[in-house]
Structure 1
Amino acid sequence: MAYFNIFRKVFHSKAYIIFGLFFFGTYIYAQDRHIADSLELIYNSRQFEEKDRLKLLYDLAVFSPDPDKSLQFSSELLRRAIEADSTHHIIGAYQERGTALRLKGDLNQALESFFNGVKLAEEEELQRELGILYINIGTVYAAMDDHHNAIRNYNEASAIHKAENDSVGYASAMENIGDLYNLGLSKPDSALLFFRESGDIYRAIDYKPGIAYNMGNVGLAYALKGDYDIAEKNIGQATEMLEELGHYYPISVYLTYMSDIYAEQEQWETAFAYAFRSLDLAKQHGLKEQIGDAYLKLSELYEKRGNTAESLRYFKNHVIYRDSLNNIDKVQEMANLRADFEVSQKQIEVDLLQKESEIQLLKDKRQKIIIYATALALVVIFVFAFFLYKRYSFVKETNTIIEEEKNRSDALLLNILPKETAQELKETGQVEAKKFESITVLFTDFKDFTRSSADLSPENLVRSVDYYFSRFDEVMEKHGLEKIKTMGDAYMCTGGLHLNKEDHALSMVRAAFEIIEITEAVKNMDQTNIMPYEIRIGINTGPVVAGVVGTQKFAYDIWGDTVNVAARMETNSETGKINVSENTYELIKDEFECEYRGKMKVKNKGMMKMYYVKKPKLQMA
C-alpha cells in the first residue's frame, strides 16, 4: 500500500499539509507520539514508494517527541537529500536537526545547523524558510542569554513573515520576542504587549498550538507581576492543551513556574508535586536543560524548607546536568568531581552561617558572665577581682575567634569577587553594574583538549587543568590583571577593570607571552602527571559592562561586544601565538613587533583586521 494511503488511514480527519507548508517544523506542528510511532512503523515496514522516502523522513524528524530520534531521522534525511540534490529537503533537514540539537542542549551545533540552512535559503531566495530559520536561531541565542542577537534574529523573521503575509510565522516571531522580554529581560509588561498581538492572530485562525503557547507565556508574565491567580489559570489551561498536542518541553517549563507560584503562597506540598512532575517529564523525554532546571528548583524548595542535605543533593544533580550542556566530549567523568567542588563551596557558606550563630551565642554567654561577675563583686572584692580576670580572658579569646571568622569570611568573599566589588557589597548590600570605556580582555583555549584528554583519568585531568590555571593566576597577579572565570579548558581575564591602569593592553600582552612560556615549559618537565597542551590566545580592547549576578551565590562577570570579539580572536588564532584585534594593536604597536594577518571573516562580525604579536621591539636589535 502506498505511503499516502496508509497515512490517511492513520490520521483519519487530520489535514495532512506538512509537505505543502514544509518548513514550519517544531513551532507549528504538534510533536505527537502516536503520529511518530505510526510513521516509524510505515518507514520500518517499507510500505511506501521510494519517491516518498524524503518526505517520510522529514515527517519523522518533525513529529518525533524524542530529540535523539528526531536527530537520527533528520541526519539521515540530510544525507539522502544531499545525494538527491533536493534543496527543500536539505533545508528541512538542517531545520529539524538544529531543533533536535537545541532540545538536547548542544547549542553550538544547533546554531551551525541553522546557519547552514540560512546560507542555502538565501542562495535559493526562499524567504519563508529563511524566516523560520531566523526564529530558531533567535531561540538558541536566547538560551545562551545573548539577548541582543536573539532580538535581532526575531525581528528579521517578523519582517520576512509580514512581507510574505504569513500570519502564523509573524505571530510566532512576536511570541518569541515577548518570551525574551518576559523571562530573559524580566519585563513582563513589555512582554504582554507582544503576547497580546500574537494571541489575537492565533485565535483569529484557531491555531491551537499557538494558543496554548500564548496562554502559558501570558501566565508566566502575570506570575512575574505577582498576579498568581491569573498566572495559575493560564498556565494550567496551557499545560492541558500542550499535553493533548504532545509538546513536552514547554510543559516542563510551565510546571516549574507552577511550582514557583505555590511556593510563593507557601503551599509546599503542591509546589514540590509540580517540581517533581517537571523532573519526571523531562527525564521521560530526554530534555537535559529541563532536567537540570527541575533539579535546581527542587534544591531551592528544599533549601527554603530548611532541609540542607536534600538541597545539596539536588544541587549536585543540577550541576551535573548543567555541565552536560557544554560541548566538551569525553570528560563526563569530571562532572561528579566538579559538582562535588561546587557543592563543597555551598557547604562552606552553610558552615559560615552556623559559625555566625555560634559567635552570637558566645556573645550572649559573655553578657551573662558580666552580669554574674558584677553581682558577685558586691559580695566580696576578691571574688569580683577573680571573675574580672576570667571575663578578661574570655573576652580576649572570643574576640580572637570573632576576628578569625571575620577574616575567613572576607577571604572567601575576595575569592569570589574583586576587592573593590566585595567592599561595595559589604557596605551597601548590593553592587551596581558599571561601564568601563576601555579594558583589555584575553581568552585562552587548549588545542584538541577533548581528544588528548580522552585517555586521562578524571583525577589526572583535573590535576593538569588546575596546574595550568594556577600558574596563569600567578601571572595575572604579577601584572596587576584580573581573572574573570574559567569555562572548561578556557581561561578568561581582563586588564584595567578596577586598577584603572592605562597600560592594561601592554600588561596583557606581556602576560600572554608568559602563559605561552608556561605551556612550553610543561613539555620539558620530567613528571608525567601533567598533560602537555598547545594553547591559543586571543586579545581585544574596548568598552564593557561589569557587575555581579545572583543573590545567594554571587558571580562577577563582564558583558559586551568587546568580550565576544576577544573570544573570536582566540578561535581565529593558532597554537603558540597571540592574536590581537585592531583596537589592541593600536595600543601596543609602539612596544611590540606585530605581523598583520589581513582582514579575516569573524562569526557574526564580518571582516576584521587581525595581528599576531611577535616579540617586544627591544629584542629586535
Structure 2
Amino acid sequence: MLNKCKNHGLFIVFFFFFVQLIHAQDRKLADSLIVEYNKRNLTGIERLELLRNLSFNLSSDLEESLKYSNELIELALKDENFLYLYRGYSQKGQSYLLAGDLPKALDAFVKSSEAASKVEDKSYEGGAYLKIADVYSGIGNSANAESYYSKSIGILRLTTDTLTLASALLNAGDEAFLTKNYDKALDYFEESGLLFKKVNYPIGIAYNLGNVGMVYAEQGLDSLAEEYINEAMVLLEESEDFYPITVYLTYMSDIYLRRKDFSAALNYAQRSLDLAKQYRLKEQISEANLTLSKLFEISGNHDISLKHYKDHISYRDSIINLENIQQIADLRTDFEVSQKQIEVDLLEQKRKNQLILTFTIAIALFFIGILALLWYRRYLFIKKTNRIIEEERDRSDRLLLNILPEDTATELKLSGKVKTKKHDIVTVLFTDFKGFTSYSENLSPERLVETVDFYFSKFDEIIEKHGLEKIKTIGDAYMCASGLYGNKEDHAHKMILAAKEIVAFVEETKNDIAVNELTFDIRIGINSGPVVAGVVGSKKFAYDIWGDTVNVASRMESMSEPGKINISERTYELIKDDWSCEYRGEIDVKNRGKLKMYFLML
C-alpha cells in the first residue's frame, strides 16, 4: 500500500453510532425532560425511562449525562430492575466513549453485560459484549476484542435481533482485517452483508461493501476492490455519510497507481482531500495530504510534494493529544525493538568474524595483517553504531519526558506500568481564552495551530520556570498542577507566580503591534486540594489527575473574568498572608452550590 496508515477498516459502532447519536440528541427535548424531572411526579418504570432519556439526550455533556445515568443505576439497583440497570451502565459507557475516556467506558460496559446476563432477552447481553469488543478493538487489544466478538455473535445467533448480529459480524470482520486475516474477514463480511440486506439497512450494506473492497485491495485484487468500493460510495453519498468515502477514495488512488495510471490516482487522492476539507474531517485531511505528497514525490514534483507533506503534519499535530502520545509511545517501542535487533546482529557478526579470524590464522600468517585492518574498521563501525544508539536512547527518553513527569517516566520504563498515587494537597490551574471559538472559525487550520502554539509555548516556559507540571491542553484550555513532584510546601505560591506571569504575557501581547491579530483576553481559575494522579492506557499512555479539586479549579476558571485570576477559598487560605485578594462573596456554581471566591490583586 502507498499509505500505511490507511490499513484500517471502518466498523459500524465506533463511527456510525457516534454520528447517529450526535444527530439524535435533542436539546429542546432534554430541557422539557428536565422540567418533568424536577416535578418529581413520575415513579417506577416511568421514572426509569425518564432518566434513560435524559442521559441519552445529554450525552455530549459528560457531567450532566453521568448525573442521570448514575441516578438510573441507583434506582434500578434498588428496584432490582436488571433491564434498566443494563441501560444505565450502557448509557454511562457511551457518555465516557464520547468524552474519549476508554478505560471508564470499558468498566461501564462490563457492568452493563453483568446486568444484561440477568435479563430474559439475551439480545441485550449480546449487544453488551459487542460494545466491550469495540472498546478493546479501539485500544488495540485484538485478543480481547476477538474473544468478545465471538461471545457476542454466539449469543446473538440465538436471538431475533438481526441488525445487532449483522453489526457484530461486520465489526468482527473488521478486527480480522486489522490483523491481516483476510479470509476470515471475508467470511464475516459475507454473512453480515446478507443480514444487512435482509433488514434493508443501507448504511450497514455500504460499510460492508467498502470493507470487502479494502480486503480485496490489500490482496491485490484491484478490479474487485474497485467494484465494491464504488458501489459502497454510491450508497454512502445517498446517506450523506462522507467520512468513509474519504477513506475509500485513497484506496482507489492506490489501485490506479498500481495500474500506473498516475493521473487517475492523483484525481482520487485530490477528491479525498477536497471532501475531507468540505466536511472538516481532520484525520482524513491529514491522510489525503500524505497520499498526495507521496504521489507528487513519485512524479518528481518535490515542491508540491513538500507542501502537501507540511499540510499533513499540520493537521496530524492538531488531532487529539492522546494520539500524539500514542505515536511517541510507538516510536519508543519501535526504537527499543530495533536496538535489540542491532545488538543481536552485532553479536552474530562478531562471532562470524572470530571464526573467520581463527580459520585464516590456521591457513596463513599472511592474512593476519589484512584481518587486523578489517577488525579495526569493524571496531570503528561498532563504536560509531553504539554512539548512535546511545544518542537515540537519550532522544527517546527526552520525548517521553515531554509527556510524563520524570518520576512517572522512570517508573514506566522500569516496570512497564505506573501505580496510581494520591496527593493530599496540590494546586491546580485552568486557563481559557475569551472568544477563541468564534475567532477560530475564521482561521485556516495552519493559522489556528500557529496561534495556539504561540501562547501555549510561552505558558510551557513559564510553568517550567516555576517547577510546575503541565497536565494537558483541550482546545484553547490549558491545565497544570503544582505540588505533584516537589514544591510540597510552597505549591500554591509557585502557582500564583506562574499565573501572574501568564496574565502579564497575555496583556503584553495585546500591546505588541507585531502580533496584535493574535491577541485574546484570558481567564484563570485556581484551586487547591487532594488529587489522584496516574497514567491510563496500556498502549496510548496519558498522564492525568482526577478528583473534586480538579473540578472546582475548572469552575474557578469558568466563573473568572477576562484578565483576572479567580481563586478558591482553599487556595486563598494558603496564600493570604503574602498576596492581596479581593473577596467576591459566595457565588452560585453549577452543580456545586455556593462557593467563596477571590480575585488576586494584580
Query: Partner of 1:68 in structure 2?
Result: none
Per the alignment, do residues 183 and 423 of structure 1 end up closer, same or farther by CA in structure 2, a change over 3 Å counting? closer
Does the CA contact (< 8 Å) of 1:472 and 1:515 recur in 2? yes
Query: Partner of 1:7 in structure 2?
Result: none
Structure 2 distance, partners of 1:435, 1:131, is 36
Query: Partner of 2:171 in structure 1?
Result: 256
Query: Partner of 1:556 in structure 2?
Result: 543
**1:153 paired residue among 71, 77, 80:** 71
Structure 2 distance, partners of 1:520, 1:114, is 40
Structure 2 distance, partners of 1:157, 1:189, is 19
Q: CA deviation at 1:581?
A: 1.6
Does the CA contact (< 8 Å) of 1:572 and 1:579 recur in 2? yes
Query: Partner of 2:356 in structure 1?
Result: 372
Structure 1 distance, partners of 2:426, 2:472, is 16
Does the CA contact (< 8 Å) of 2:462 and 2:498 recur in 1? yes
Query: Partner of 1:613 in structure 2?
Result: 600
Structure 2 distance, partners of 1:487, 1:375, is 65
Q: CA deviation at 1:454?
A: 3.0
Q: Deviations over 1:542-596 (max 9, x none)?
A: 2222222223332212222222221111111111111122222221112111222
* Structure with more relative contact order (C-alpha pairs < 8 Å, separation 6 or more): 2
SS in 1 for 2:514: coil
Query: Partner of 1:601 in structure 2?
Result: 588
Q: CA deviation at 1:429?
A: 1.4
**2:461 paired residue among 464, 474, 483:** 474
Corresponding letter in the other structure for 1:241: D
Q: CA deviation at 1:513?
A: 0.9
Q: Deviations over 1:306-346 (max 9, x none)?
A: xxxxxxx99xx9x976989xxxxxxxxx9983335668887
Does residue 339 (structure 1) correspond to residue 260 (structure 2)? The answer is no
1:111-126 alignment runs, 5 A limit: 114=30, 117-123=33-39, 125-126=41-42
Structure 1 distance, partners of 2:240, 2:523, is 35
Query: Partner of 2:302 in structure 1?
Result: none
Does residue 539 (structure 1) correspond to residue 523 (structure 2)? The answer is no
Identity of aligned residues (%): 37
Count of residue pairs brought into register by the alignment:
464
Query: Partner of 1:171 in structure 2?
Result: 83
**2:152 paired residue among 231, 238, 243:** 231
Does the CA contact (< 8 Å) of 2:89 and 2:108 recur in 1? no
Query: Partner of 2:384 in structure 1?
Result: 397
Corresponding letter in the other structure for 2:107: S
Does the CA contact (< 8 Å) of 1:442 and 1:540 recur in 2? yes
Structure 1 distance, partners of 2:237, 2:312, is 18
Corresponding letter in the other structure for 1:117: L
> TM-score normalised to the size of structure 2?
0.64
Does residue 241 (structure 1) correspond to residue 181 (structure 2)? The answer is no
Structure 2 distance, partners of 1:453, 1:320, is 13
Per the alignment, do residues 344 and 122 of structure 1 end up closer, same or farther by CA in structure 2, a change over 3 Å counting? closer
RMSD: 4.7
Q: CA deviation at 1:428?
A: 1.0
**1:216 paired residue among 127, 137, 152:** 127
Structure 2 distance, partners of 1:365, 1:241, is 61
Does the CA contact (< 8 Å) of 2:145 and 2:175 recur in 1? no
Corresponding letter in the other structure for 2:22: K
Structure 1 distance, partners of 2:518, 2:380, is 53
Q: CA deviation at 1:178?
A: 5.7
Structure 2 distance, partners of 1:270, 1:142, is 35
Q: CA deviation at 1:528?
A: 3.9
Does the CA contact (< 8 Å) of 1:537 and 1:578 recur in 2? yes
Query: Partner of 2:100 in structure 1?
Result: none
Query: Partner of 1:69 in structure 2?
Result: none
Does the CA contact (< 8 Å) of 1:547 and 1:556 recur in 2? yes
Per the alignment, do residues 133 and 187 of structure 1 end up closer, same or farther by CA in structure 2, a change over 3 Å counting? closer
Does residue 506 (structure 1) correspond to residue 493 (structure 2)? The answer is yes
SS in 1 for 2:561: coil
Does the CA contact (< 8 Å) of 1:443 and 1:537 recur in 2? yes
**2:505 paired residue among 518, 526, 529:** 518
Query: Partner of 2:444 in structure 1?
Result: 457
Corresponding letter in the other structure for 1:527: A
Per the alignment, do residues 458 and 148 of structure 1 end up closer, same or farther by CA in structure 2, a change over 3 Å counting? closer
Q: Deviations over 1:489-519 (max 9, x none)?
A: 1111111112252211111111111111111
SS in 2 for 1:154: helix
Query: Partner of 1:484 in structure 2?
Result: 471
Does the CA contact (< 8 Å) of 2:110 and 2:132 recur in 1? yes
Corresponding letter in the other structure for 2:161: M
Query: Partner of 2:424 in structure 1?
Result: 437
1:299-338 alignment runs, 5 A limit: 337-338=314-315
Does the CA contact (< 8 Å) of 1:362 and 1:398 recur in 2? no
SS in 2 for 1:552: coil
Corresponding letter in the other structure for 1:467: F
Query: Partner of 1:359 in structure 2?
Result: 342
Q: Deviations over 1:441-487 (max 9, x none)?
A: 11111101122233333222211110100000000100000111111
**2:51 paired residue among 116, 130, 134:** 134
Q: CA deviation at 1:385?
A: 3.7
Per the alignment, do residues 584 and 429 of structure 1 end up closer, same or farther by CA in structure 2, a change over 3 Å counting? same
Structure 1 distance, partners of 2:419, 2:590, is 31
Corresponding letter in the other structure for 2:498: A
Structure 1 distance, partners of 2:416, 2:29, is 45
Per the alignment, do residues 499 and 151 of structure 1 end up closer, same or farther by CA in structure 2, a change over 3 Å counting? farther
Instruction: List alignment gaps of at least 5 residues for structure 1.
Output: 1-98, 204-210, 300-312, 325-333, 616-621
Instruction: List alignment gaps of at least 5 residues for structure 2.
Output: 1-16, 94-102, 134-143, 193-203, 212-231, 252-271, 285-310
Corresponding letter in the other structure for 1:256: N
SS in 2 for 1:592: coil
> TM-score normalised to the size of structure 1?
0.62
Does residue 588 (structure 1) correspond to residue 499 (structure 2)? The answer is no
Structure 1 distance, partners of 2:536, 2:405, is 13
Per the alignment, do residues 504 and 339 of structure 1 end up closer, same or farther by CA in structure 2, a change over 3 Å counting? same
Structure 1 distance, partners of 2:324, 2:516, is 25
